[in-house]
Amino acid sequence: MAKALSFEDKLLRIEEIAEEMQNSELPLGESVSLYEEGVKLIKELRKELSAAEEKVKILSALCDQPVLKDYE
């Protein structure tokens, strides 16, 4: 079984995918596969970020610190 990528490794892979798609003339099938991989990684990263944000909110509440404000 392949080792799960860290958050940082996922970001690096997305950058690699973007560069590869911009700097080469890939066949359509390969472009679609890379795009699909990138979308999957972005979805995983968003999930990890949401989980981290929830942890920070919980820890802040435990320490009587103000809860993070939404920045969107």
Q: What is the pTM of this model?
A: 0.77
Number of C-beta neighbours around residue 38 at 10 A: 19
According to the model, what pLDDT value does residue 61 have? Answer: 79
According to the model, what pLDDT value does residue 2 have? Answer: 67
**Architecture of the domain defined by 7-62:** Orthogonal Bundle (1.10)
According to the model, what pLDDT value does residue 45 have? Answer: 98
What is the C-alpha to C-alpha distance for residues 47 and 49, in angstroms, rounded to an integer? Answer: 5
Angle formed at CA 48 by CA 1 and CA 9, multiple of 5 degrees: 55
According to the model, what pLDDT value does residue 35 have? Answer: 96
Domain layout of the chain by residue ranges: 7-62
According to the model, what pLDDT value does residue 18 have? Answer: 96
> Tens digit of pLDDT for each residue in 40-64?
999 999 999 999 999 888 887 788 7
